[in-house]
Amino acid sequence: MVDALRAAGYRLTPDRAALLSYLAQRETLVSIGDLVEQARELGVSRPTVFRLLEALTAQGMAVRFTEENGSRTFYTFCTRSHHHHIVCTGCGRVEQVETPHLELELRDVAEHKGYEVHRHNLELFGLCPGCRAGRPA
């Protein structure tokens, strides 16, 4: 994550790098509130957090989720290349999934329609095994 941002020409101070390594370890969705709070502890200012989020989103390394009623925003942070997510609506756990067959099929469908597609979004929402068993992971 840090290397990829540097490669994209983003200047990373040690405090920003520390924030990134914290984010890369998280296995659940991170709310904006948590993010700003964690950043503050690491000495990263709020505007910097938002600039960092923008840069990460542009690089495909952060994906934003909004609650169905639109009240809260969460992020998940990614180190892999193209993939999708399964999000647990019970505990906020996020898993990255790769769907090679689906990718090909989506491209075929678009090509068949005469489109050149540049990107797509696909996220799955449900309950993780832990939540299904009644014990939050």
Binding site for Zn ion (CB under 5 A): 78, 88, 90-91, 93, 96, 103, 128, 131
3-class secondary structure, 109: helix
Residues in the chain: 137
Which residue's CB is nearer to Zn ion, number 34 or number 103?
A: 103
- Closest residue to Zn ion, judged by C-beta, is 78
Enter the tokens of residue 92.
């906020």
Enter the tokens of residue 132.
């299904």
CB of residue 126 to Zn ion, shortest distance in Å: 9
3-class secondary structure, 61: coil
Which residue's CB is nearer to Zn ion, number 15 or number 99?
A: 99
CB of residue 60 to Zn ion, shortest distance in Å: 8
Which residue's CB is nearer to Zn ion, number 11 or number 101?
A: 101
CB of residue 22 to Zn ion, shortest distance in Å: 16
3-class secondary structure, 70: coil
Locus of tokens 């193209």: 82
**How far apart (Å, rounded) are the C-alpha atoms in residues 93 and 28?**
4
CB of residue 45 to Zn ion, shortest distance in Å: 26
Which residue's CB is nearer to Zn ion, number 23 or number 88?
A: 88
Locus of tokens 């969705």: 29
